[in-house]
Each structure stands twice: as C-alpha cells, then as structure tokens.
Chains A and B, each alone.
Chain A
C-alpha cells in the first residue's frame, strides 16, 4: 500500500525562519543531522530485524524530532508512518515504511550535502 506524501523533501525556508534566520546554526544542525542519520537508520533496522515494536517506535520518534528541526519533512512523514505501524504491531507496514524512509534519507542526504557544499558559511 503506497502512502501519499504531501510534503516537500526539504523545507529549508521553514527551518531557517524557525531558527530566526541563523544560517550558521541551520548548517550546524544539518551537519549534525547528517552525522547522526546513518546510525539512526541502522538502529531502526536492527529493531526491525528483532521485530521490537517498542524500540522501532522509540527510534522513529527520535529521528522524527531531529528531522523536523532541519525541515526534512518527508523523513518526518516516514517516521510518523513507522510509529503508527509499530503501534499497530504491523511488521509488513513497518518494513515498507522503513524502505521508503531509506529512500527519503538518501535523497535528503544528497540534497543537504549539495547545499552545504555550495553554501557553507
């Protein structure tokens, strides 16, 4: 079952405004997000392999927090969907949502790295 997403991949403008137009802070947070996201992904996959729904939900929730801070809206959507699927103990749905998340993370990594390469303060 494909879930519809209404959000853009990255709402840079929104994140920038929330940080009171502090570009340096935004870039620092983006860098921190990029540094942590691979590990977040691997703990999520490890929880998936153990079908540990509590852990899946907790890790998705944590990732949702940092993704929302940098405006990675599609990652936020994926995390919400994973939390809901974990709540329903629906392992197939968790698996498919994690696979969507992987794609979106890969896209946001490329987008953010490209941005940082061209705009580093």
Chain B
C-alpha cells in the first residue's frame, strides 16, 4: 500500500515512519502541504494519507477537502494527525472529509489498530470499485468480444448522428454478417465459433478509426457507424474491412475461411434521423449482399 505522511515536525515524521516500518507499505514522507499535494496528484495516488493539521503551505484539513473534491473515483483513506484534541477540531476534520483523527503523541498500538481499520475499509472500497467496473462493462460491452453491446451501440449511433449534424458530415451505418457462421459453429464446434467472433471483432476494430462505432448487434451480426466527409470514404473503409476479414490469420489449429457480407446505408443526418430506420436500410442492403453471393458490400442509396 502506498502511504503518505505529511508533517513539518521532524520528530513526528520519524515517529510515524518508524512505527509504520514493517507494515510492508511504500512510504512517502513530506514536510509541507505543497509537497504533499505533489505526491497526491501523482498518477498513482497514495491509498492511505496521514496529514498533520498544521503543516505549512496548505494545511491538512484544506488538503483533505481538495482530496474529496478531486479524487472521487478511488478516494484515499485520510487520517488527520494533530496535537490538539478538542472536540470542535475533530468534528471540523471529519466534516472536511477525513476518515479518522489521531492525537499526538502517537501511540504505536493505537496506530496499529487504526491502520488495520484503514486497510479493511480500503479493501472493501477496492472490491466495490472493481465490482462497479465489471457491472459497467457488462452493461455496455459484449462479454465475448469486448466491443459495445447492442444497447450501447444504438446510443453511440445516436451520438454520431448529432456529431454529423454539427459537423455537416455524412453518416455510414453498416451491418456486417459473418458468412456461413452457422456452418462454422456446426462443423468446428461452438468454442471455435466463439474464437471466430473474437478474432473478427478484433480485426474489424483495428481496421476502423478510433472514433468509429462498432457493436455486436446480435449473434454473428455487427453494427458500424462512421462519420464521413465524402461519400467515397465509405467504399474505402468497408472494402478495407471486407478484405481484412478475408485475409485475416485466424490463429487456429485448422484453417477456417472467414468472410463477411456488408450492408451499408449512407445518410445525411438531420434532426429527423432515426437510428432504427438507418439500421433497417443497412439490413436490407446486407440481405442484398448475401443474395449476391456473400463476401460483398452493398451500399444504399446506391
């Protein structure tokens, strides 16, 4: 655990750092508020912070307020250390966002108990943060392929419509279907089918520009939304994808030929644009591409 000690008094710094030695933590010791803030603002902020109330520069309680305003996603555990133990001061420190208060002189046994509480709370907090991240991921991303799920993808297309209106650009909405996927599943088995889906989405994602939208629309169907300055860009983009899929190295024990059919709808977005209509048109184009022998791109309006 990364631990910060901020105290302007050398003896107090020595007391805390010596007592914390052997706890297996990574200690950072500072003498004033500005130095403490520099450590707190590092990419990896300390998880446990001991702040003397009266450090020069920015005092411990002010630092606590700043921490609570800025480090919201992964808040550190803050303990205010002071040689004052007046009720009003303890209340002020806790109201500013401190988790605990220790009065000087620091007692080793007391510190050990407080440290254990901090560790316990931080562990629970970590688990909560990780669970939330996982739930968030499950809510927005497809578990198998890691690309957006259908719900998130539709919201993202709506955002792209707004962006195109603002920038006066065209929007290409495309549906991609992995050709003969049922055969792949039936012939090679579902685990291989899952690998194909993963490889396919990985290669398509790499071929797209970072700001293009890719989601798994369902089964072996994927949805792409891409803002275009000119209509010609669509052909280049989707041909690149078609050809990437056709030539991708599937990294399996056995060679599986994978191709994709693509139905594209190119649209000049306006406030009347509806995502469902664009997807419907792309779906019709996809149907046409499959009818034309698969591994093809059909664009509407032509």
Contacts and interface: CB of A to CB of B under 8 A. Distances in A.
Interface of A: 15, 17-20, 22, 25, 28-29, 32-33, 36, 58, 61-62, 64-66, 68-71
A19 B111 CA distance: 10
12 contacts: A18-B106, A20-B19, A20-B108, A32-B11, A33-B11, A61-B84, A62-B54, A65-B52, A66-B12, A69-B11, A69-B12, A69-B15
A61 B12 CA distance: 12
Contacts of B11: 29, 32-33, 36, 65-66, 69-70
B54 A71 contact: no
Interface size on B, as a range, is: 20 to 34
Given A33-B11, A36-B10, A62-B54, A68 B18 contact: no
A68 B105 contact: yes
Contact of A29 (B14, B107, B108, B109): B14
Given A19-B108, A20-B109, A61-B83, 13 more contacts: A18-B107, A18-B108, A25-B14, A29-B14, A29-B15, A32-B11, A33-B11, A62-B54, A65-B7, A66-B11, A69-B11, A69-B106, A70-B11
B100 interface: no
- Which secondary structure characterizes the binding site on chain A? helix
A65 B14 contact: no
A19 B83 CA distance: 17
Contacts of A61: 54, 83-84
B8 interface: yes
Nearest to B56: A58
Given A19-B15, A28-B14, A68 B104 contact: yes
B108 A65 contact: no
A15 B7 CA distance: 19
A65 B12 contact: yes
Contacts of A69: 11-12, 15, 104-106
